[in-house]
């Protein structure tokens, strides 16, 4: 069993599941290879890495200096990043959920025009033009504030979330909504009591994806923020992006330390969305 990721090696009790586990572990071996590389490189000094890139060092001479450097580099930025990422993700998912509910519930007049507006934005190729956006933020007096970051990231994440959520809401059985309507539930209540629990799994996935996007972003913070105290994680990590001689060990250690809070929040969201909510809802 591939012990690199530290997963307990005892397999589940059921026998027929064995072939499934083997297949999954085979695929995961390839998927987790980059993660394994990241961990073993982060234990090496640049000199050791240059000589041997693949085989991890023996445990007794694992280099902890990289992690000391990483902690020192990353800690000042964690708080701001969590603040921006969490607020941004919650707002963007909430707005996307409402918009997706509108499109999925009824084919309202004018709905197809609105949908094409969203679609056009999603398909427009990468001509994201920072300059007018910057002028807009300046005009709104939001320069050098974290809220500017949040608003921009919310706008950015909307289209993808609506596109995905609409499909899922349309899949929900219609009689659920009719039943709720009979009891006089308003659209808002219908959304919260039926759609959110039933679509918990996809909501969890969208939460992780949009959270990840905001966690590593460093272009917007650099352009909008001026005071170093406000910088987010992405900006902190740019110091490692030396063009000529990258210090691989430090890059890997810093990315690993930077992703620990990410990891904790993933574990939490996965648990919340996968098990907690879906247990409560009525199954189809």
Partner 1 sequence: MALPISKRKALAEWKLYLFVVPSLAMILTFSYFPAFSAVYHSFYDWRGGDSKEWVGAENFERAAMDSQLGYAFVVVFILIIANLFKMVPSIAMAVVIHRLKSEKWQYWYRVLLVVPMIVPGLVTLFIWKFFFDPNFGPLNAILDVTGLKAGLIWLDAHLLGWDVFAEGRPIPWLSSPHLIVPSMIIWGFPWIGAVGVLIFLAGLQSIGTDVYEAADLDGVTPFQKFLYIEFPLILTQVRLMLILMMIGTLQGFGLQLLLLGPEGGPSGAGMVPGLYMYNRAFSAGEFGYACAIGMILFVFILVLTFINNKYVRVQK
Partner 2 sequence: MRFPQQMRTWLAAGCALMMAGCGRQIEKPDPAKGWEQGSLLLVKEAWEEFDAAGEKGVGNPREVALGEAVMLLTLQPKVQSNLDEAETHLRRLIEEKPDDDPGIFAAYFLARLKQVHDFNPNLDEALKLYEGLIDRHGGHPVAQAAVAKIIILRYFSKPAPERAAVLEEAENYRRLLANPDALRAFHGVMGDLALRLDGQRQRAIDHYLRAYELQIPNSESRATVVLRIARLAEAEGQIDLARQFYQKFVAEFERDTRNYWVRQHLKSMEKTP
Partner 3 sequence: MTEPHAGEKSARGERIMNAIGFGLIGVCFVISLCQVFVTAFRSRLDDTPVVRIAHWQLEAGIRQGIDRLAEEYEKALAEKGKKVKIEQLPIPERIYGNWLLTKLVGGEAPEIVEIRAEIANVDRLARFFTPLTRYLDEPNPYNAGTPLEGKPWRDTFLDALQGTVTYSKELLDYYAVGFNMFTSRVYYNKELFAEIMGPDAVLPRTFDEFVALCEATQAFGKRTGRTVVPIAGSKYTAPILIQRLMTNQTQKLKIALETKYDLRPSEEDLALAYLEGKWSLRDPDIQSGLSLLNGVGRHMTKGFTQLQREDSAFAFLQGRALMILTGSWDVKSLTEETTFPVGVFPLPLPTQHDAKYGAFAFGQVSEAAVGTGTPFALPRDGKNFDVALDFLKFATSYHGNRIFAEESGWIPAVAKVPVPERVQAFKPIVEGFDSGFDLNLGPEHKISYTQNQYLVFEEFEPLRRFTEKQEQDSRDALLMDSKRRLKDHARNAQRFDSPLGALMWLRSQRPGDRELERKIVEILGRQNGIEIVLYESGERLDAVKP
Task: Output the six-digit token pair for 70.
Answer: 């990483």
> Could you give the string, one character per residue 218-237, with x where binding to partner 3 holds by CB under 8 A and - elsewhere?
xx--xx--xx-xx-------
Q: How far apart are CA 278 and CA 202, in angstroms?
A: 11
Residues 42 to 61 in contact with partner 3, rule: CB under 8 A: 46-47, 50-51, 53
CA–CA distances in Å: residue 279 to residues 191, 197, 272: 17, 9, 10
Q: How far apart are CA 245 and CA 211, in angstroms?
A: 30
Q: Which of 79, 144, 267, 276 binds partner 1 (CB under 8 A)?
A: 267
SS3 113: helix
> On the CB side of 72, how many CA atoms lie within 13 Å of its CA?
8
Count residues contacting partner 1 (CB under 8 A)?
A: 96
Angle at alpha carbon of residue 29, lines to 28 and 30, rounded to 5°: 90
> What is the DSSP-derived secondary structure letter of residue 161?
H
Q: Which of 212, 222, 223, 230 binds partner 1 (CB under 8 A)?
A: 212
131 lies in the site for partner 3, by CB under 8 A? yes
Residue 17: CB partners within 8 Å, gap ≥ 6? 11
Out of partner 2, partner 1, partner 3, none, what residue 64 binds, judged by CB under 5 to 8 A for its kind, is none
Nearer to partner 2, 30 or 244 (CB): 30
Kindly compute the dihedral angle of the four CA atoms of residues 185, 186, 192, 193, in this order, to the nearest 10 degrees.
10
Out of partner 1, partner 3, partner 2, none, what residue 193 binds, judged by CB under 5 to 8 A for its kind, is none
91 lies in the site for partner 3, by CB under 8 A? no
Task: Output the six-digit token pair for 279.
Answer: 């247990």
147 lies in the site for partner 1, by CB under 8 A? no
Nearer to partner 2, 88 or 156 (CB): 156
Give contact residues for partner 2 (rule: CB under 8 A). Answer: 34, 126-132, 135, 156, 212-213, 216-217, 219
Give contact residues for partner 3 (rule: CB under 8 A). Answer: 46-47, 50-51, 53, 78-80, 82-83, 86, 130-131, 134-135, 138, 143, 145-146, 218-219, 222-223, 226-227, 229-230, 238-239, 241-246, 261, 264-265, 267-269, 271-272, 275-276, 279
């Amino acid at each position: 069993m591939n012990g690199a990721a530290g997963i307990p090696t005892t397999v589940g009790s059921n026998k027929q599941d064995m072939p499934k586990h083997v297949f999954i572990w085979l695929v995961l071996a390839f998927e987790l290879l980059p993660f394994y590389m990241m961990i073993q490189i982060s234990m090496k000094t640049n000199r050791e890495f240059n000589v041997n890139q693949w085989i991890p060092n023996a445990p007794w001479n694992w280099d902890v200096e990289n992690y000391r450097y990483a902690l020192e580099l990353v800690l000042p930025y964690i708080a701001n990043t969590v603040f921006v990422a969490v607020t941004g993700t919650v707002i963007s998912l909430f707005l996307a959920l409402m918009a997706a509910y509108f499109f999925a519930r009824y084919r309202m007049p004018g709905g197809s025009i609105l949908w094409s507006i969203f679609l056009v934005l999603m398909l427009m190729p990468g001509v994201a033009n920072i300059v007018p956006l910057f002028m807009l933020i300046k005009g709104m007096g939001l320069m050098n504030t974290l809220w500017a970051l949040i608003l921009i990231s919310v706008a950015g994440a909307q289209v993808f979330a609506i596109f995905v959520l609409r499909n899922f809401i349309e899949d929900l059985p219609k009689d659920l909504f009719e039943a709720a309507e009979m009891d006089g539930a308003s659209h808002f209540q219908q959304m919260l009591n039926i759609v959110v629990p039933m679509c918990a799994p996809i909501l969890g996935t969208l939460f992780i994806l949009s959270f990840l996007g905001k966690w590593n972003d460093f272009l917007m913070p650099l352009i909008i923020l001026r005071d170093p105290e406000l910088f987010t994680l992405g900006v902190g990590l740019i110091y490692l992006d030396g063009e000529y001689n990258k210090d691989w060990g430090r890059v890997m250690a810093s990315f690993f330390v930077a992703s620990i809070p990410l990891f904790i929040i993933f574990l939490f969201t996965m648990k919340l969305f996968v098990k907690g909510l879906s247990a409560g809802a009525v199954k189809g």
